[in-house]
């Protein structure tokens, strides 16, 4: 009887060891799949970061283009303003000279 008990006990221990090994393999596989999922997610995020960086660069270039256009327009307005001031000064001078002629 003791022999039979020892045989069953060794079978149970062998099955327990086998079960633990299978659990260990399953855990390893679970961790591997999680790592792969995280790696895929990481790669997707890197791709998205690259897309956003490229988009940011385009927006910066567009903003610089608009700033340059605004500065050119501002310079044109300044030049137009100076020409308008000169014309007004000429008109005022002519009016004063006409006033002199009329008064004389």
Indicate the pLDDT class of residue 12, thresholds 50, 70 and 90: confident
Helix, strand, or coil (residue 90):
helix
- pTM, rounded to two decimals: 0.48
Query: How far is 67 from 57, CA to CA, in rounded Å?
Result: 15
- For residue 2, pLDDT beyond 80: no
- Which three-class secondary structure string do you get for 41-56? HHHHHHHHHHHHHHHH
Residue in the structure block whose two tokens are 């020409």:
83
Indicate the pLDDT class of residue 3, thresholds 50, 70 and 90: confident
What pLDDT shows up at residue 63? 96
């Amino acid at each position: 009887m003791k022999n039979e008990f020892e045989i069953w006990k060794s079978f149970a221990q062998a099955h327990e060891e086998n079960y633990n090994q299978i659990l260990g393999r399953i855990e390893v596989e679970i961790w591997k799949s999680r790592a792969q999922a995280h790696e895929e997610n990481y790669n997707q995020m890197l791709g998205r970061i690259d897309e956003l960086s490229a988009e940011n660069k385009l927006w910066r270039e567009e903003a610089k283009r608009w700033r340059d256009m605004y500065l050119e327009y501002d310079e044109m307005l300044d030049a137009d303003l100076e020409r308008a001031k000169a014309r007004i000064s000429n008109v005022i001078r002519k009016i004063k000279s006409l006033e002199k002629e009329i008064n004389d």
